[in-house]
Chains A and B, each alone.
Chain A
Amino acid sequence: MRKIIKYVVSDILQNRIVLVYTAFLLVTAFSVFSLEDNNSKGLLSLLNITLLIVPLVSIIFSAIYIYNSAEFMELLVSQPLKRKTIWLSLFTGLAVSLSISFLIGIGIPILLFQPNKIGLIMLGTGILLTSAFVAVAMLAVVKTRDKAKGIGVAILLWLYFSILFDGIVLFMLFQFADYPLEKAMIAVTAFNPIDLSRILILLQMDVSAMMGYTGAVFKDFFGTVTGMLTSMIVLLLWSALPVWLSTRRFIKKDL
């Protein structure tokens, strides 16, 4: 398996879009930190940018890359390799190389300006988020044969997780405003890796004090070690589950 990953990673790291992505993250991170006089404020702005850009690039780049590798995967399938190995190598290759460019783009500035617990948590969740969206892209791609449709599905999924999900949650909150929903909200966040990452990081910051009663309930859960571990595991599940489902599908797929 290592054999394929090595070549896939080096191929992706030389890809122009990935290079631009890395440079963009690097420039944004540096400018955000230099614009704000307070570094933790800078981190907050950076958080909002990363939570928008990282999933977008991860899901769309992965989808396009897998479609463009269709013939290459056929060639690999004709070699003495298990299909599972090929698919998992592709996932690992994509997740590792996009994580590397995230670590370069965001990691270097954070280590320079915010080398503390919050900074490290942000890097960790960024990597988990990258891998989760690569996994979701693989699931979307394996289920749709048509390239244009598949990329469309990837964009819609990103839109759903980034924007629509919050809208739906807000709508529900207003509808059921009479009921105590604070605890239920914790469970609801598990269904969106972006929200989960946001809350996980926000609660480490001082701004969480301004989040009112819900913020206090969240802090009770996410602020504890158990809560943090649980949310990390849920984030990991967001990678593991789609990868597992898509592998099962890929093994039976006609190429």
Chain B
Amino acid sequence: MITASNISKKFGKLKALDDISLTCNKGECIALIGPNGSGKTTLIKSILGMVVPDSGTIKFNGANILHSWQYRSQIGYMPQIGRYPDNMSIGDVFDMMKDIRGPQNVLDEELIHLFGLKEQMKKKMRTLSGGTRQKVSAALAFLFDPEVLVLDEPTAGLDPVASEMLKEKIIAQKRKGKLVMITSHVLSELDELVTQVIYMQEGNLQFHKTIDELHAETGENKLSKAIANVMLKTSHEKNH
């Protein structure tokens, strides 16, 4: 569904992405992990067309996304930090997004109900707490029932109840055969979600493996331990 081939991006002297190639298919739930500044967000932004890679191509359903914008109607994006114009109400934000996307047959308002946003529709964005803004971002990402979901640190700032609801929702979407990409630092909560792991470091793609492969290789059942294991191994190999 999404194919990136040899994409590189430099910000000044910093290499944010270094010759990255990957393929993501339907029904997969992919975790993008790596330390801060490893290029995860840049990779996501390149897929969304916010950052234009210096070289390489990204294809969405076989079509190059460069200079194209229609393909984004099939993507739901939840940003790391959601900030909205101060004087818009929650209702305004949803209305505007519906206007932008045009008349849709299916609107998935489940998260709006679950998060109790329906009762707060008149509240202004500037009065909302960071967590509530995250809820709005999450509800927006799922609202149009997109084929691809890109979630940047989705559970950061959410309370445990809400983040559990969001996880349930992600699992349900995965079952429906959608492609989900998640970046997160909290590995423990990715355990039940992901089917594949992409590990990045300093703009390089260290590995792209399925969960089963990881488990088989490391003998660990927990994702966090498996990753730690792999990281130790790679650093060990480098030293010798």
Contacts and interface: CB of A to CB of B under 8 A. Distances in A.
Interface of A: 3-4, 7-8, 10-12, 14-15, 68-72, 74-83, 252, 254-255
B87 A79 contact: no
B2 to A, nearest CB: 14
Interface stretch (B65-73, B115-123, B173-181, B224-232): B65-73
Nearest to A252: B52
B96 A4 contact: yes
Contacts, number: 81
Nearest to B85: A11
Given A4-B100, A75-B137, A81-B69, 9 more contacts: A10-B88, A72-B83, A74-B50, A79-B72, A79-B73, A79-B100, A254-B11, A254-B50, A255-B45
A8 B85 contact: yes
B168 to A, nearest CB: 24
Residue of B49, B99, B100 with most partner-chain A CB within 10 A: B100
A46 to B, nearest CB: 29
A81 B50 CA distance: 12
Contacts of A8: 85
Contacts of B150: 78
Given A3-B99, A4-B100, A81-B69, A75 B88 contact: no
A80 B72 contact: yes
Interface of B: 11, 45, 48-52, 69-73, 75, 77, 79, 81-88, 92, 95-97, 99-101, 137, 140, 150
Task: Give chain B's interface secondary structure class.
Answer: mixed
A61 B77 CA distance: 29
Contact of B85 (A72, A80, A82, A83): A72
A71 B72 contact: no
Given A3-B96, A7-B88, A71-B82, A255 B50 contact: yes
Nearest to A71: B83
Nearest to A13: B87
A98 to B, nearest CB: 15
30 contacts: A4-B96, A4-B100, A7-B88, A7-B92, A10-B87, A10-B92, A11-B85, A11-B88, A11-B92, A12-B87, A15-B86, A68-B83, A69-B85, A70-B83, A71-B81, A74-B79, A75-B77, A77-B48, A78-B77, A78-B150, A79-B73, A79-B100, A80-B69, A80-B70, A81-B72, A83-B69, A254-B11, A254-B52, A255-B50, A255-B51
Contacts of B88: 7, 10-11
A80 B96 contact: no
Contact of B69 (A69, A70, A82): A82
**Among A3, A8, A82, A83, residue most surrounded by chain B Cβ atoms (within 10 Å):** A3
A80 B50 contact: no
A154 B48 CA distance: 31
